[in-house]
Amino acid sequence: MKNEEILSQIPEIGEGQIKLLETLSNAVSVSGDEGEVRAIVMEALKELADDVRVDALGNVLVTKKAKVENPIRVMIAAHMDEVGFMLVDDEGEGLFKFEIVGGIDNRQLVGKPVLVGKDKLPGVIGAKPIHLTTADERKNPIPLENLRIDVGPGNSKKCKVGDRATFATRFETWGPSLVGKALDDRLGVATLIELLKHTPGNIELLAAFTVQEENGLRGARVAAYSMHPDVAFVLDSTPANDLPVWDEEENARYNVRLNHGPAIYRLDAATLSDPRLINLLTDTGDELGIPYQYRQPGKGGTDAGAIHKQRGGIPSVSISVPGRYAHTAVLIARREDWKNTLALVYATLCKISKDLFLADR
């Protein structure tokens, strides 16, 4: 396909897409309990794909056939789950001890409203009044064992030990920004839904909406096995860490930067991305004038960590929408970065073929 043709077919991020992202962001799907997002995904997929199934772990696995013979089979994964909490001890009078599911800094919990259980019962994580603390005490974070989820006295019957909870943040747009909880990785989920609506005909698209990413990449692991793709792309959101540095020196240690386009992974804690896929992405970006950036090599990981070592090995790469403050009550991403992420992945899919394997890695 010619570049002009690709550019003219790149799907848009319009109000409908923002609305879907809002619905996804406000849904509660803590790792291991992804039902609500799964239902939204299934609804969005009606009449979109040839084959949709839910596997033993709860992954939604979708196959969309190519319009050509013997196509390259491309897996694209985005995780449905989010970090959150589980109630683990009922102390009566509406107070519950809780554990964290996934990685959340204790310091992000205090003073937050939360939603508890299937009925999304409102609750709060409070703190001891400042008046009863000492200056020394205030220098140290409040340990998890001293925090409680409080749903109000007399409400204990409406929620119970074992229920999941998460931050009660409602999605909003602030100027150029998308603001909400769990945009890691509802941005990926929404992008993948768009790619299923607008699939280039040259590939067989194997879309995996995965579970338990925040609990050790467990959904992607089995999804990659059963899908058995030729290559895999993982769509996620990565922390930008592009804030000023304390000593007012230039921040040369940002992870990625907002407004600089999709972040392409070379190396994270779990994966060395396949250079053939990296080059395909960057060549596409360069040719079509779609901005991109490299995620700084370092810690963290995506579903690619599980996917690339599945079976005999699956060439994989991750692309993230940059976001500030992942794994807190509020993530801030730029609409423009999301648009460019969708554009870059779509255009790259238009260009991908089995020729990729003419060169050895």
Contacts with other proteins, residue ranges (CB under 8 A): 94-95, 105, 107-108, 110-113, 122-133, 138-142, 146-148, 150-155, 158, 167, 169, 172, 174-177, 179, 239, 241, 243-247, 251, 253, 259, 324-325, 328-330, 332
Size of the chain, expressed as the number of residues it contains: 361
Least distance to other proteins from the beta carbon of 11, Å? 24
User: Nearest Cα to 348, choosing from 260, 259, 283, 266?
Assistant: 283
CB nearer other proteins, residue 8 or residue 134: 134
Least distance to other proteins from the beta carbon of 10, Å? 24
Least distance to other proteins from the beta carbon of 340, Å? 16
Pairing of strands 263-264, 293-294: parallel
> What is the biggest distance separating any 2 CA atoms in the chain, rounded to whole angstroms?
72
CB nearer other proteins, residue 154 or residue 275: 154
Positive/negative CA dihedral, 304, 209, 9, 293: negative
For 289-312, b where at least 16 C-beta lie within 10 A, e where not — what string? ebebbebbeeebbbbbbbbbebee
CB nearer other proteins, residue 151 or residue 232: 151
Q: Which two tokens stand for residue 85?
A: 């909490």
Measured between alpha carbons, how far is residue 43 from residues 13, 60, 194, 197, 223 in Å?
Answer: 19, 12, 13, 13, 20
Least distance to other proteins from the beta carbon of 322, Å? 13
CB nearer other proteins, residue 133 or residue 279: 133
Least distance to other proteins from the beta carbon of 183, Å? 12
Distance CA 301, CA 29 (A): 20
CB nearer other proteins, residue 178 or residue 223: 178
User: Nearest Cα to 218, choosing from 285, 109, 307?
Assistant: 307
CB nearer other proteins, residue 120 or residue 309: 120
Catalytic residue among 213, 214, 248, 250: 213
Least distance to other proteins from the beta carbon of 356, Å? 36
CB nearer other proteins, residue 50 or residue 93: 93
Backbone angles phi, psi at 182, to 5 degrees: 60, 20
Least distance to other proteins from the beta carbon of 154, Å? 4
3-state secondary structure of 19: helix
- Which segments within the chain are labelled E, that is strand? 51-54, 60-64, 72-79, 84-90, 95-101, 112-116, 121-125, 149-150, 164-167, 172-174, 177-180, 203-210, 231-239, 263-264, 293-294, 316-324, 331-334
3-state secondary structure of 254: coil
Q: Where are the alpha helices (DSSP H) in the chain?
A: 3-9, 15-26, 35-45, 135-139, 183-197, 218-227, 275-288, 304-307, 335-351
Residue 36 known to be catalytic: no
Q: What is the dihedral of CA 326, 164, 22, 343, to 10 degrees?
A: 50
The residues annotated with a catalytic role in the active site are 213
